Amino acid sequence: MKASPIRERVEEALAASAFVKLLLVQRCVPQIETIAKELIRALRAGRRVFLIGNGGSAADAQHIAGELEGRFKRNRRALPALALTTNTSTLTALGNDLGYEHTFSRLIEAHVRKGDVLIAISTSGQSPNVLEAVKRARKIGAVTVGFTNDSGGKLRHLVDHCLQVPSTDTQRVQECHIAVGHAVCEAVEEALFEK
């Protein structure tokens, strides 16, 4: 008996997701390790982690920040992490008054200090407001991290460390971004809160 078209589509989507994650393991573990070490270094030094992104990447930024602020696997003290995607009054005012491309850079100016870490999530690596924010963070002296796709877009040339997921399929890239976020959160907890 032939499988239904829905079942076939579900199987194809899950298999594609698993395949890209296998490629991620083969190609990107050194970059992920470096990113985790940067967060560990910054947090040990009393610095903060900031995250930005648009749309699904904004949701990922908030998700990762929540894991660091609250808890991932361990009951432990809160870590200073903040997604700069959540204050709709500020974001819409900045977009209206200064232009959408300046929304995050203005927030970076307000909150980020030298030695902090900025994780900039952009599936395409081309989001103007993300690129402007990274430029501002670098001028301040923050460590900049990009989460993007296989091409990396313009973002890969601007950040100190770039995770380039080995795919250009937005869905697969976003799935890997959150998987990497979880892996980094787990590494941070293990390093900072050893049993």
Cα Dmax for the chain: 62
* DSSP label at residue 45: T
Residue 195 has pLDDT above 70, yes or no: no
Q: Read out DSSP for 47-92?
A: --EEEE-STHHHHHHHHHHHHHHS-SSS------EEETT--HHHHH
Cα–Cα distance measured from residue 25 to residue 99, given in angstroms and rounded to the nearest whole number: 38
Class of domain 5-192: alpha beta
- Say whether 8 sits in a helix, a strand or coil: helix
* Confidence (pLDDT) at 131: 98
Which band of pLDDT confidence, cut at 50, 70 and 90, is reported for residue 185? very high
- Averaged pLDDT score across all residues of the chain: 97
Nearby residues of 65 by Cβ (< 8 Å), 6 or more positions away? 49, 51, 81, 82, 83
Task: Give 135-168 pLDDT, tens digit per residue.
Answer: 999 999 999 999 999 999 999 999 999 999 999 9
* Confidence (pLDDT) at 155: 98
* Confidence (pLDDT) at 2: 81
Q: What does R_g of the chain's alpha carbons equal in angstroms?
A: 17
* Confidence (pLDDT) at 194: 80
* Confidence (pLDDT) at 150: 97
Residue 190, classified by CB atoms within 10 Å of its CB into exposed (0-12), middle (13-18) or buried (19+), is: middle
Nearby residues of 102 by Cβ (< 8 Å), 6 or more positions away? 94, 129, 132
Residue 3 has pLDDT above 70, yes or no: yes
Task: Give 42-60 pLDDT, tens digit per residue.
Answer: 999 999 999 999 999 999 9
